[in-house]
Chains A and B, each alone.
Chain A
Amino acid sequence: GAVVSQHPSWVICKSGTSVKIECRSLDFQATTMFWYRQFPKQSLMLMATSNEGSKATYEQGVEKDKFLINHASLTLSTLTVTSAHPEDSSFYICSARITSTDTQYFGPGTRLTVL
């Protein structure tokens, strides 16, 4: 149980284009999902908290207009990187929270490369 999927697993795009990443909780419902980014050899950095049916909450320093988050259902959150630039290249990981145990389960990550 507690499986989280991400799609795509990797994506290469041109500078200036937008990329959408999906995060799904496959066998449970999650009112709260989270988006992280991870640079090579570093730990996970929380970008934003995605709340079902309401606006996402962004961490300090994360541009909400650049990283658009939508959590339209209890099993799906999407992160759209708008007008991507090479410095946005990173490993993006989502997680879904099980409320009863206050535990987050992570997706397999999406490798974004912006040329």
Chain B
Amino acid sequence: TQLLEQSPQFLSIQEGENLTVYCNSSSVFSSLQWYRQEPGEGPVLLVTVVTGGEVKKLKRLTFQFGDARKDSSLHITAAQPGDTGLYLCAGAYDYKLSFGAGTTVTVRA
């Protein structure tokens, strides 16, 4: 099993503030995916990063994949209450996904 450490576990911020979630591992992944999950629903794919050093932007969300393909970060600019949810990173290896523990983000209006 390839372990992914995700931090922080919980994050509560005011609307308009920025936040960053980190995902770290000692293992190399062929790709890394970020998901967002609402209570009682399945995870929804936000982005897949494949190349070391890659940066992808999705509106106010910026995703980075480390040069060595072992770590990644998710940065949200000017967070809104609609960004509230559980964010999960998952590293791909041998056709499987290894999930981080998740970060529960709460954005207060």
Contact = CB atoms under 8 A, between A and B. Distances in A.
Interface of A: 2, 4, 6, 32, 34, 42-46, 49, 91, 93, 95, 97, 101-109, 111
B33 A49 contact: no
B96 A43 contact: no
23 contacts: A2-B45, A4-B42, A34-B96, A34-B97, A42-B101, A43-B101, A43-B102, A46-B97, A49-B95, A91-B40, A93-B42, A93-B43, A97-B95, A102-B48, A103-B31, A103-B48, A104-B90, A105-B45, A106-B35, A106-B42, A106-B44, A107-B42, A108-B42
Interface in B84-109: 88, 90, 92, 95-102
A109 B48 contact: no
A87 to B, nearest CB: 20
B45 A103 contact: yes
A109 B40 contact: yes
B106 to A, nearest CB: 14
A44 B96 CA distance: 12
B30 interface: yes
Nearest to A99: B95
A103 B95 CA distance: 9
B10 to A, nearest CB: 10
B96 A106 contact: no
